[in-house]
Amino acid sequence: MTHSAIRDMRAEIGAANEHFMAEFATGDSARIAACYTADGALLPPGSEMLTGHDAIAAFWRGAVGMGIASARLETQEVAPGDSSATEIGRYTLLAADGSTIDHGKYIVLWKRADDGSLKLHRDIWNSSVAPAST
Amino acid sequence: MTHSAIRDMRAEIGAANEHFMAEFATGDSARIAACYTADGALLPPGSEMLTGHDAIAAFWRGAVGMGIASARLETQEVAPGDSSATEIGRYTLLAADGSTIDHGKYIVLWKRADDGSLKLHRDIWNSSVAPAST
């Protein structure tokens, strides 16, 4: 793949992340889930893999209920694939007052949906914050 | 990419994982780190991204010192890319007596090294075990 194609893919992922962040900030879990492919999956810490829009919406509804008002996503790298791309990035989860609830790293496998748009297909992350020692 | 090419890539990743598991079981952190590209990176829970063989070896030395004697990796999906591939899988970390210390999910971005072998380039995971409530 040419450098310009990689640049284009990175820009397209940037736009898809902007869309995700805007949908997340609405707090509407169905709108967040619609950013994922129909057979999309979350790989969340402390849980088995969750597959499909209903499970994804339920997970994000729980996160919003716990006070996560918005998410900031920052792409660090993009590796393009066949009708897909793998993104490595950093996230910050924010409360309504703008304070940071958590920050960490993620890898997202993006896939082009039938309508031509990029959607999250596989989404794994973990916190960079060391757990409090007990 | 053709279906047979995807099958070939999956088989090659399977072999690379067998190699990783064998190296891991030696407990020699330099041998574990050598399974990663020279600019490979770990994205471990509770830590910022760790880049390069020295940092990767130090991390796995710590894990071995905490009693992790072997790792089992099980590929679930492979998405091929340009001189790379993205793998989604499950891991189990075992103590010397064969008991399970942790199990969870991972995404690895594999990259073809100059010598033609596949190496781990980006490696993120998280536990599927819910943290103990406090």
* pLDDT tens-place values along chain B, 134 residues long: 677 877 899 999 999 999 999 999 999 999 999 999 999 999 999 999 999 999 999 999 999 999 999 999 999 999 998 779 999 999 999 999 999 999 999 999 999 998 999 999 999 999 999 887 65
**Chain B hits for A39, Cβ within 8 Å:** none
pLDDT at res. B18: 98
| A118-127/A36-43 β-pairing | parallel
Q: What is the DSSP letter of A69?
A: -
Other CB atoms within a 10 A radius of the CB of residue A36 amount to 25
CA distance A4 to B3: 27
Tell me the pLDDT tens digit for each residue of A28-83.
999 999 999 999 999 999 999 999 999 999 999 999 999 999 999 999 999 998 77
Task: Say yes or no: A133 contacts chain B, CB-CB below 8 A.
Answer: no
- CA closest to A41 among chain B residues: B88
Task: Say yes or no: B122 contacts chain A, CB-CB below 8 A.
Answer: yes
CA distance B49 to B36: 14
Residue B5, token pair as written in the block: 């090419």
CA distance B121 to B110: 5
CA distance B108 to B124: 6
Contact status, residue A110 vs residue A123, Cβ threshold 8 Å: no
- CB within 8 Å: A125 and B122: no
Taken as a whole, chain A contains a residue count of: 134
Tell me the pLDDT tens digit for each residue of A85-128.
999 999 999 999 999 999 999 999 999 998 999 999 999 999 99
Task: Say yes or no: B43 contacts chain A, CB-CB below 8 A.
Answer: yes
CA dihedral B79, A21, A15, A112 (to 10 degrees): 30
pLDDT at res. B4: 80
**Chain B hits for A59, Cβ within 8 Å:** none
